[in-house]
Amino acid sequence: MGTKTNIGIIICDRYRTCAGGKCLRALRNREGAFSIYAGSDVELVGYTTCNGCPGGNIEYTGEEMVKNGAQVIHLATGLLVGYPPCPYIETFKDFLEKRYNVKVVLGTHPIPQKYLDMHAQLGTWEAPVWKPLLEPTMTDEATRRDYN
């Protein structure tokens, strides 16, 4: 096996009651944005919400996760697929990387097909800026359907 990586996950507060099933499944299976850990050990050292717009928990959470050993913080897929997608996601990423010198990855589990279909109908992700933001969680259709 490869090296061990400690990670934290920050989810959108809209989903604050989420038990993390899709994220944890994807982590276990190394799917979606967690595919970067294939062949490596991963330990989850933190899981919480942003605390709602405009992300009042990001500052405290980032500090706590890094103190607990996080080397990478994932901003959950829910921040990308919600209606509307999080307007602060790039600000959160920039802040966490600069303030705590930690790598930030956008996404966790693969984007469910039903969300991709709806955002296609709404035209949400048509701007070129979305392609790199969605790339880590944009898997094949069979996997996306499996995450519906």
Give the pTM. 0.94
| CA gyration radius, the chain | 14
- For residue range 83-99, list pLDDT tens digits in order: 999 999 999 999 999 99
- For residue range 129-142, list pLDDT tens digits in order: 999 999 999 999 99
Average pLDDT for the chain: 95
Residue ranges and CATH numbers for the domains of the chain are 4-146 (3.40.50)
Let me know if 71 is exposed, middle or buried by CB neighbors in 10 A (0-12, 13-18, 19+): middle
Asked if pLDDT for residue 54 goes beyond 80, the answer is yes
Q: In degrees rounded to 5, what are phi and psi of residue 64?
A: -65, -45
Contacts of residue 100, Cβ cutoff 8 Å, sequence gap at least 6: 62, 63, 66
Alpha-carbon distance of 102 to 96, in angstroms, equals 7
Secondary structure percentages of the chain, helix, strand, coil, to 5: 45, 15, 35
Alpha-carbon distance of 124 to 130, in angstroms, equals 9
